[in-house]
Amino acid sequence: MRKFAIEWAMLFGLLAAALMGSTAVFAQDCAQIQQDVIRLHILANSDSEEDQRLKLTVRDAILERTSDIFGTPHTKGEAQSIARENLETVEEIARETLAQQGCDFQVEAQLVNMFFTTRHYDGFDLPAGRYDAIRVTIGEGAGQNWWCVVFPPMCISMAQPAESAQIAQEILALGETPAYRPKLAVVEWYRSWQESRKNT
């Protein structure tokens, strides 16, 4: 009986080691994606129906009027520089749009590095972790947010450069394989734990 228990313990240990090794490789892939992506993150003033409507109106205006700006970079570095140089433009678009709606909320656009939980996006999962993001805060920024991937330009309807297309395929692969779902959960738990440690 004891021999049987030892054999089971050894088998469990081997399986756990294999799973952790596989998850570690997967986590490295997730980290690479986090380094290669820039997100657009728009925070509504509140969760009221009107503030959520305004958020989406601002979103539409930003995407429409910046498509020629954010659709051109071929590298992450270029995208970061373009984002930094055009923060005031993004703010102005948002303010003008709100003014047209009879709203005078303050708007702030920043290029930040912030933590996101695992998010479902257009048929695939984007893993939890810290991402560079263009964050647009409307008013108090206390409402539900909207986000998309601005580099590679997946929230802007236009042809992607080869490098962007490759990254997009890597992101898609994370959501296409059911076996990755448990790994996403493990990675999210670990990343969330890391974030909680930073904030204590």
Quote the number of domains for the chain: 1
- Residue 139 domain-assigned (yes or no): yes
pLDDT at 21: 45
Q: Which residues are registered as beta bridge partners of 146?
A: 42
- Residue 112 domain-assigned (yes or no): yes
Lowest mean pLDDT among 125-134, 174-183, 191-200: 174-183
Cα distance between residue 46 and residue 144, in whole Å: 7
Nearest to 91 by CA among 155, 45, 140, 137: 137
Q: For 13-21, what is the mean pLDDT?
A: 45
Question: What's the pLDDT tens digit per position in 93-106?
Answer: 999 999 999 999 99
- Residue 3 domain-assigned (yes or no): no
- Residue 170 domain-assigned (yes or no): yes
Distance of CA 38 to CAs 7, 83, 92, Å? 48, 9, 21
Cα distance between residue 181 and residue 187, in whole Å: 10
Lowest mean pLDDT among 11-15, 79-83, 186-190: 11-15
- Residue 15 domain-assigned (yes or no): no
Tally of CA atoms within 13 A in the half-sphere of 35 that contains its CB: 6
Tokens of 34: 């986090």
Nearest to 37 by CA among 120, 130, 106: 130
Cα distance between residue 16 and residue 19, in whole Å: 5
Q: Is-contact 37 167, C-beta < 8 A? A: yes
- Residue 9 domain-assigned (yes or no): no
Q: Record the pTM.
A: 0.72
- Residue 1 domain-assigned (yes or no): no
Number of C-beta neighbours around residue 54 at 10 A: 24
- By residue range, what is the domain housing residue 166? 28-198
Tokens of 40: 């657009």
- Residue 5 domain-assigned (yes or no): no
Distance of CA 109 to CAs 51, 73, 91, 135, 193, Å? 17, 20, 6, 6, 28
